[in-house]
Amino acid sequence: MKQIKTLLIAAILILGASQNINAQTKVAHVDVSEIMGKMPAMLDAQKQLEKLSGTYDADYKKMVEEYQAKLKKYEAESATVTEAINQERSKEVQDMQKRIVDFRDNAQKELQTKESEIVKPIMEKVRASIQKVGKAKGFQYVLDGSTLLLADGTNITVDVKKDLGF
């Protein structure tokens, strides 16, 4: 009986100590995707990327139209020209196909590179602001709220927006 009381008291002390430890840890959450989606610098970056993408799309469509026109012309004339000319034209069409595919691949890579160049400094600015606000409010951990399943703690998204000036 005495051992049960001792175990019960020990369990209560351990639970009380763990509650005390949990109470000392301060955790907040922030929705980075909301901040990034409404941040003026990010909106400008998206416009730049859309403009660049539009330029690439227009160039790509122009190349495809030229390819299709040439292919149609060559197919229509194939019966009236020599085999040597048909082979030369076939090689030219294959070269055009390769240039189109290479252009598309390079355009995608350039868009990804440009996006990284533009977004990286914005993301660093957001992270710095989150750290600044989190430290100022005494939080030890700040979690990205866009992936939380339960966010019952303090949300510092508004504070970070204010710190970033919007």
Residue 152: its pLDDT value, please?
Answer: 66
Q: Using one digit for the tens of pLDDT, what is the confidence trace for 81-125?
A: 899 999 999 999 999 999 999 999 999 999 999 999 999 999 999
Q: Using one digit for the tens of pLDDT, what is the confidence trace for 63-85?
A: 999 999 999 999 899 888 899 99
The whole domain housing 144 covers: 2-164
% helix, strand, coil for the chain, step of 5: 80, 5, 15
**DSSP strands (E only) in 9-129:** 27-30
Q: Using one digit for the tens of pLDDT, what is the confidence trace for 12-32?
A: 666 555 554 545 668 888 889
The number of distinct structural domains making up the chain is: 1
Residue 111: its pLDDT value, please?
Answer: 96
Q: Quick check: 9 pLDDT over 80?
A: no
Q: For residue 150, what are the CA distances in angstroms to 7, 80, 138?
A: 34, 73, 21
